[in-house]
Structure 1
Amino acid sequence: MIIKPTLRNNIFLSAHPLGCEHYVNDLFEEAKQLPNFGGPKRVLIIGGSSGYGLSSRVTLAQNAQASTINVSYESRPKDQRTGTAGYWNNVAFIKQAQSLDSKHYDIIGNAFSHQTKAITIDKIKETFGQIDLLVYSLASGARPNPDTGEVIYSAIKPIGEDLVGKTVDIASKEIRDIHIKAATPEEVQGTVYVMGGEDWQLWVEALEKAGCLSKGFKTISYSYVGSGAMDQIYRSGTIGKAKDHLEDTALAMNSWLKDKYQGEAVISSSKAVTTKASVFIPGFVSYISCLFEVMKELGNHESILAHKHLLFKDMVYGDKRLVDAKNRIRVDHHEMEPRVQELTKRYLQQYQNESIFELSGTQLFLTEVHHNNGFGYADIDYDQDVDLEAILPKLDNLFDYNG
C-alpha cells in the first residue's frame, strides 16, 4: 500500500507506520536529553497513544523509570485502512520500551466501558498489584453510556451567541469563514457528559474498590484555561462547561484520596500544543500558530514532551508547583504571560487571511500535525509500498483487546 496523507475537515484518515515510529523515536530521543527524576513506578494512562498522554508515558517511562499500562481506543490496519496513528504509536512505544528496565502493556478498548475497566484491573493485579499514578488524558467526541449503550455526543460550540470568525483548512492551506450556532442546553449537557470528570471518577472508584491504589496514589487529568482570544469557543463555550466539571471532580476526589491514601487528585492546566484534538476546535489553529510564533520569538516555546517532563519533574513530583485558586497546576505559565498574550492577539488581528501561512509558527504547527500522523519526514520515502499485512501478524500480539 502506498500511504499518503488523507484529510477530511482537518482530520487525518490515514497514518504511516514508519512515520509514527519516527515520531515516537524522536520523543524518546528528546527525553534522553532531559534529566531523570524520582516519580511513580507503576502508572496507568487512560489515553496514552497520542498527544499529552503519549508524551506523559514517554517521560514517565524514560525519565522516571516507571512501568506503564496504556488504555486507548485504536483501530488496527485492515484491508485498505492503515490503522490509526495511535495504534502505530503504541507499537513504536513498545519497541522502544524493550530497552528499558521496566514493563509496559497496552489495552485496546473503549475506556468508557465497564468491561475495559475490569480487564485493566485484572492486568494491574496480574502485573503491578497496585498503581501509584493514574493519568487521565482521554479525548473523545462521543461517550457510550456504559449501562444502556446509548451514545452521547459532544459539541464544540459557543454558548449564548453564535460564533462568526475564520479558521484554517490544513489540507488546502486556505482561510475559511466559520459560523457556529450557539449550543442548545442538550448539547451543553452532552459535552459535559462526554468531556467532563464523571468517567475519570468512575476509573478511580473502580480501581479503589479493587484494591489497586497504593499509599500516596496520585491521579491527574489535563485541562486548558486558555486566553481571552479563545474564550468564546473555549472556556465560555461548551468545552468550558465540561472543563469546569472536570476541575470540580478533581477537588471532590482530592479530599477523600488525601484522607484515605495520603494521595491527591489534581488538574494540570496545560499549554497549547499540537495534538490530534487541537485541530477540532474552531479558530484554534490560527491561535496556536500565532502563539508558536510569539513564543519562538521570545525564546520560551516548548515541545509537548518537554512540557510534560516539566510537569512531572517539577510540579507533580518536585517542589516547584505553581497552583491557582482552584488548585490547578499552572504549567501553562509561559503561554499566559501578559506579553505573550498581548503579542499573540496582535498577530491574530494582523494575520487574518492567507498571510498567516507566512509565519514560522504556522509552518511549525503544520509540520507537527503531519508528524502526529506519521507524515512529513524527509528521510521516509512516501512513494514506497508498505505491506501492512506482512507486519501486522508480528505485532498484533502486543496488545490486549476489548472489542
Structure 2
Amino acid sequence: MSERVITPRSRGFLFVDSHPAGCQRLVHDAWASVPAAAPTLTEREPVALVIGSSAGYGLAATIAGLARARIRGIAVCFEKPPGRRTATAGWYRTAATAELARRHGRDMVFLNGDAFADAMKQRVAQLLTDRFGGRLDYLLYAVAAPRRTDPSTGVTYASQLKPIGAPHRTKTLVFDERGAPKVKEIVVPPAQGDDIAQTVAVMGGADWARWVNQLADRRLLAEGFTTAALTYIGSPTTEAVYRRGTIGAAKADLEETARSLNDRLGGIAGRAVTSVNGAAVTQSSTAVPTIALYTALLHAVLGDAMVPPIEQLVQLWDQFTSGRPLTLDDEGRLRLDTWELAPPVQAALTSRWNEATTSNISRLADLEWFRTQVHQLYGFAVPGISYDVPVETDVPWPDPVHPPS
C-alpha cells in the first residue's frame, strides 16, 4: 500500500504527479457519456487494435469503441509505473478503462510498451492469433511521441515544432509562477538541416504502415478490415507552425500513407483513411506553440458547442460499423472537425486572436476552462474528488492473461 495526499505541482503545462482517483473518475465519466449501442452495432463484437490508447483521442477511441461499438481486442500504450513519484496519468486511465471493460464483459487486453518496436508488433500478432481467432477488423493509430527509433536501422529520430522556410512571429499563452495569464509574442525559428525528415520519420506514416503490413503479411486482417490514423489539421491561425510547418509535412506523409495502404487493402475489400479530429487540450497539443491560446479562444467562441474527443470518436465508430460508405472529403479524409472550421467560428476566433493581449485575454479567452482541462489531463480539478484525502498510488497494470468471465 502506498497512500498519500497528491497535490498538483507543475512546470508550465507539465505536472510532476498524477491523481489516480481523478483519472479514474474522468474515465468513468467519459464512458457514461457514450450513448448506448444501437442494435445494428451489437450484432457482432468486432476485434480492434488501438495503438496509443491511454491519452487524448486514442483514449477516446478506446472508450468509445468499448462502450459504443462493443469492441474486443488489444490496446497498446507506453506509460510509466508508480515509483518515487506517482505513475503517469495514462497508467491510471488505462487501469480504469480496463476495469470498466471487464465489468461490461469486454475482452480487451492492455499492453504497455514501445509501439514502434517490432517486438510489440509480434506480441500483438501472437495475441490476435491465440486469443482473438486470428482476425482483426479495425486498427486505430493514435501515437503521439517526440521521438522514434526505426526498428530496421536502429536510428532514433526526434520531431521538431518549426515553420518551414522562414521564422514565424506569433502569439502564445503562458502563466507566470502565480498563475497569472500572459500573452507573449514569440518568434519560432524555421526548420534547418534534416528537421523536416526527422519529424516525418517520427510523426508520419512509417510506423502505421509497418503495423498494417506486418499484420497483413501474417494474414491477420479480416475481410473488410478498416484502419484509421487519428490526426489534426487545424486552423489558418495556427497553420504556419502546424499544417505548413514540420508537423504538416508529417501529416502530409500520413495522408499519403493512407492512400498507399488503401490500395494494398483492396484485395480484402479493406480501407485506410486519416480521421481528422477537432481541437482539444491534450498532453501533446499543449507542447505546440500557439495551441494553448488557440484552444482557450476557441472555447470562448463555441462554449458547449465545442465537441469533446469522446463525442467525435463515437461518430467515428458509428461510421465504421454502419456498413455504409464513409463520409470523406475530396482528399479522402474522414472529417470530424467541421464544427471547428466553420467560417463563422473561424472569423470570430481570428478577431479575438488579433485583439488578444495580456491586458484583455481574461475577457477574450475561456481561461478557467483551459486551466481545468490542463489539470484534468493529470487527474486534478475533477468534480467530486477530495484532493485532501490520501489515495492509493500503487495501482497495478491490468492483468493481460485472463479474459472477463
The TM-score with structure 2 as length reference comes to 0.91
Q: 2:81 aligns with which of 76, 80, 83?
A: 76
Distance of 1:50 and 1:276 partners within structure 2 = 8
Q: Which residue number in structure 2 is paired with residue 349 of structure 1?
A: 354
Contact 1:117/1:203 (8 A) holds in 2: yes
Q: Which residue number in structure 2 is paired with residue 11 of structure 1?
A: 14
Distance of 2:38 and 2:347 partners within structure 1 = 33
Q: Which residue number in structure 1 is paired with residue 287 of structure 2?
A: 280
Q: Which residue number in structure 1 is paired with residue 113 of structure 2?
A: 109
Distance of 2:58 and 2:127 partners within structure 1 = 19
Distance of 1:228 and 1:355 partners within structure 2 = 22
Q: Is structure 2 residue 397 aligned with structure 1 residue 381?
A: no
Higher relative contact order (CA 8 A, sep 6+): 2
SS at match of 2:341: coil
Q: Is structure 2 residue 188 aligned with structure 1 residue 180?
A: yes
Contact 2:223/2:270 (8 A) holds in 1: yes
CA RMSD of aligned residues (A): 2.1
Q: Which residue number in structure 2 is paired with residue 253 of structure 1?
A: 261
SS at match of 2:25: helix
Distance of 1:70 and 1:315 partners within structure 2 = 18
C-alpha change, 1:240 and 1:147, in structure 2 (3 Å) is same
1:114-263 alignment runs, 5 A limit: 114-128=118-132, 129-170=134-175, 172-175=179-182, 176-258=184-266, 260-263=267-270
Q: Which runs of 5+ in 1 are unaligned?
A: none
Distance of 1:34 and 1:367 partners within structure 2 = 30
Contact 1:49/1:90 (8 A) holds in 2: yes
Counterpart AA for 2:17: S
Distance of 2:107 and 2:232 partners within structure 1 = 31
Distance of 1:315 and 1:241 partners within structure 2 = 27
Distance of 1:314 and 1:397 partners within structure 2 = 30
Q: Which runs of 5+ in 2 are unaligned?
A: none
Between Structure 1 and Structure 2, how many residues are aligned?
Answer: 392
In the TM superposition, what is the alpha-carbon distance from 1:104 to its structure 2 partner?
0.8
SS at match of 1:98: helix
Greater shift in the superposed pair: 364-373 or 87-96: 364-373
Q: Which residue number in structure 2 is paired with residue 54 of structure 1?
A: 59
**Per-residue CA shift, 1:154-195, capped at 9, x if unaligned?**
001111111222212257343234222111131111000000
Structure 1 consecutive aligned stretches of length 4 or more whose deviation exceeds 6 Å: none
Q: Which residue number in structure 2 is paired with residue 2 of structure 1?
A: 5
Distance of 1:75 and 1:36 partners within structure 2 = 39
C-alpha change, 1:161 and 1:75, in structure 2 (3 Å) is same
Distance of 1:170 and 1:329 partners within structure 2 = 35
Q: Which residue number in structure 2 is paired with residue 86 of structure 1?
A: 90
Counterpart AA for 1:111: A
Counterpart AA for 2:117: S
Contact 2:87/2:393 (8 A) holds in 1: no
Q: Which residue number in structure 2 is paired with residue 307 of structure 1?
A: 312
Counterpart AA for 2:18: A
C-alpha change, 1:189 and 1:380, in structure 2 (3 Å) is same
Q: Which residue number in structure 1 is paired with residue 34 of structure 2?
A: 31
Distance of 2:298 and 2:73 partners within structure 1 = 33
Contact 1:45/1:71 (8 A) holds in 2: yes
Q: Which residue number in structure 2 is paired with residue 265 of structure 1?
A: 272
Distance of 1:354 and 1:122 partners within structure 2 = 58
Distance of 2:327 and 2:300 partners within structure 1 = 25
In the TM superposition, what is the alpha-carbon distance from 1:256 to its structure 2 partner?
1.5
